[in-house]
Amino acid sequence: MLTFLIPTDFSEETFTTIKNLKALVNSGSLKIILFYSVPLPNSIIETLFLPKYKDYRGSDFQKELDKIKAEANRSDMHIHIHCQYGISEAILNHIINEYGIQFSVLSDRHSTDRELFDILKKSNAPVIHIPQGCKINTNPSVGIIIPKGYKAIPSDLQNILPSRRLFIFNESDSLVNINDKSVPVSKAASVLKEMQVNLLIEMNSKRKKSLLKKSTSANFQFEIGIPLLRVNYY
């Protein structure tokens, strides 16, 4: 069973992230831990009166979760809510080890929470970033953009993807290497269309610009127009 940690603030973005993850993952069994952190109060007395589920929408939120599981049409998708007073690197690693979490999953909404984001980067699980507004097709044709130094996709990442529809990409200054074939950037869009690639995943992205996302020169501007996720092994 593959297990994922998704930070939540009980907003609609949580449901979008779950649906995208469900569409992406090629697994017969899936467990999602929705992680909600409440700041520690100033005193023990305040703890007694501080509602742990301060922003929790109660039955409405649970009803939406049940609807997602029903829509998934699979009895082997399990969703649990873990609420925690305070958060630290040690606490998060304990939760990751306790549940056996393979990946943490962040949307753009939660990437702005710098404290949580910094702690996730130091944890034992790699982080998947899903851009806000992204919609992943079920069983997508995936292109993996791997950085220099990687000769293969890490096994934990490969385990969650549909391997028969997987393509390996590398970028240089002016070329995109697709399954060991070099393609000029200007032709990459048509090649990806022919290969029916409809999702790109960039590993360990440190550059602000990528040829496959957007490339600008004096002569042309190129934009791929395919949803792009990032997976970072910190």
Predicted confidence (pLDDT) per residue in 26-62, tens digit = 666 788 998 888 766 666 655 555 555 555 555 677 7
At residue 68's C-alpha, the angle toward residues 67 and 69, to 5°, is: 90
DSSP string covering the chain: -EEEEEE--SSHHHHHHHHHHHHH---S-EEEEEEEEEPPPSSHHHHHHS-TTTT--THHHHHHHHHHHHHHT-TTEEEEEEEEES--HHHHHHHHHHHT--EEEEEHHHHT-HHHHHHHHTSSS-EEEE-TT--PPSS--EEEE--TT-SS--HHHHHTS-GGGEEEEEE-SSEEEETTEEEEHHHHHHHHHHTT--EEEEES---S--TTTEEE-SS-EEE--S-EEEEE--
Torsion on CA atoms 108, 112, 115, 120, rounded to nearest 10: 20
What average pLDDT score do residues 103-108 get?
87
Among 21-25, 120-124, 125-129, 181-185, name the most confident range.
125-129
215 pLDDT tier (thresholds 50, 70, 90): very low
Among 97-106, 171-180, 185-194, name the most confident range.
97-106
CATH class of the 2-130 domain in this structure:
alpha beta
Provide, rounded to the nearest whole percent, the portion of the chain with pLDDT above 90: 9
Q: What is the pTM of this model?
A: 0.79
Q: 159 Cβ partners below 8 Å, 6+ apart?
A: 2, 27, 102
User: How much is the pLDDT for 26?
Assistant: 66
What average pLDDT score do residues 129-147 get?
83
C-beta separation of 199 from 136 below 8 A: yes
Q: CATH 3.40.50.620 residue ranges in the chain? A: 2-130
Distance CA 193, CA 172 (A): 20
Type of residue numbered 115: E
User: How much is the pLDDT for 82?
Assistant: 86
Q: Is the pLDDT of residue 78 over 60?
A: yes
What average pLDDT score do residues 108-122 get?
75
What residues pair up with 176 in beta bridges, in sequence order?
Answer: 171, 183
Q: Is the pLDDT of residue 63 over 90?
A: no
73 pLDDT tier (thresholds 50, 70, 90): low
Least confident residue range of 127-136, 151-160, 162-171: 162-171
Q: 204 Cβ partners below 8 Å, 6+ apart?
A: 147, 150, 231, 232, 233
